[in-house]
Structure 1
Amino acid sequence: MLTFEEKLTIIESFPELQRNDISLGRINFHFEESVFDKKIVVYRLHPNGNGFVYAEQINDNYTIDSKGMVNIRNFTERELRKVIKESITSLRESNPFEETWVNAENETLKIVHDLDFNAWNIYAGDMLDGSYATYNAATDYLHQEGFQRLQEDIE
């Protein structure tokens, strides 16, 4: 496990993040150029090594909490750099996110990130099938319904 100082050095190596000291020795790091209302990338980095990174819009299998944060307590240097880079990229993106999912009957659904409402919508053609607050909630629904992401969307 990385120490607080090691995590701090890694996080501070991202020049696009601004440090914001908060209570009890904890530190937040903001990405002021975010195209969303969301600006906090690193949340409550604590001297005990605990902390969180915003990962809600990242197309990966992170376990996130209700605020869209992934706990980085046990992350390696490589994992921490990767999640921070992906988080910044996700907050910088202004192009719509879209993925195609298919089931065994070759039926397709699309996940589209609605930037205006920060919702993850599932479409069957032009028809809205469902709307979810997080990417993980939308993909959980698709998995339960027997859909898998198309291989070219994974790469």
Structure 2
Amino acid sequence: MLTFEEKLTIIESFPELKRNDISLRRVNFHFEESVKDKQIVVYRLHPNGNGFVYAELIEENGYVTDSKGMVNIRDFTKEELQQVIKQSIASLSEAEPFEETWINAENQTLQLMNEYDVWNIYAGNVLDGTHTTYHEAADYLYQEGFNRIQDIDAE
């Protein structure tokens, strides 16, 4: 496991991130040029080595994120930490709209789109639902029997 100081060195090598010391010697790093409402890339980096990186918008990331879209970086290697930070910054830099197609067993399709910092689900041109996070919208779609077309194609 990387030490707190090693993680700080890696994170501070990203000039686009601004350090913000918070309580209990923890540190956040902000990406102020974010095109999203979200600016915190590194969240609550603690002297014990624990901390989080925003990974919710990273496409096909494979990261296990919490309800805030954060992935725990406690046991990340140097390369893994550099990669997730690069991906996080890139995901917050993308101005183009995000869209996924979901399909169920009856071949009905829904579109999941990120619009104005909310996640909308459309059936054709009809708004089916609005969610505050990608994971909330994806959970809803899975519960309704839908799967991402990308996941089906990968099988």
Normalised TM-score (structure 1): 0.86
Show the counterpart of 2:27. 27
How many positions carry a matched residue from both structures? 153
- Note the aligned Cα RMSD (angstroms): 2.2
Check 1:101–1:16 CA distance in 2 against 1; reply closer, same or farther (3 A cut): same
Are the equivalent residues in 2 in contact too, given 1:57–1:134 (CA < 8 A)? no
Show the counterpart of 1:130. 129
Q: Unmatched 5+ residue regions in structure 1?
A: none
Show the counterpart of 1:52. 52
**What are the superposed Cα offsets for residues 54-108 of structure 1, whole Å, 9 maximum, x if unpaired?**
2232333433334332221122223322221221112111111001111222211
Check 1:153–1:146 CA distance in 2 against 1; reply closer, same or farther (3 A cut): closer
Q: Unmatched 5+ residue regions in structure 2?
A: none
For residues 43-122 of structure 1, the aligned pairs below 5 Å read 43-59=43-59, 60-114=61-115, 116=116, 118-122=117-121
Normalised TM-score (structure 2): 0.86
Three-state SS of the structure 1 residue aligned to 2:82 is helix
Q: Taking every aligned residue pair, what percent have the same amino acid on both sides?
A: 70
Three-state SS of the structure 1 residue aligned to 2:56 is coil
Check 1:153–1:3 CA distance in 2 against 1; reply closer, same or farther (3 A cut): farther
Are the equivalent residues in 1 in contact too, given 2:52–2:71 (CA < 8 A)? yes
Greater CA drift, 145-154 or 84-93: 145-154
Are the equivalent residues in 2 in contact too, given 1:100–1:153 (CA < 8 A)? no
Check 1:153–1:58 CA distance in 2 against 1; reply closer, same or farther (3 A cut): farther
What is the one-letter code of the residue matched to 2:86?
Answer: K
Are the equivalent residues in 1 in contact too, given 2:67–2:135 (CA < 8 A)? no
Check 1:36–1:58 CA distance in 2 against 1; reply closer, same or farther (3 A cut): same
Structure 2 Cα separation of the partners of residues 43 and 76 of structure 1: 17
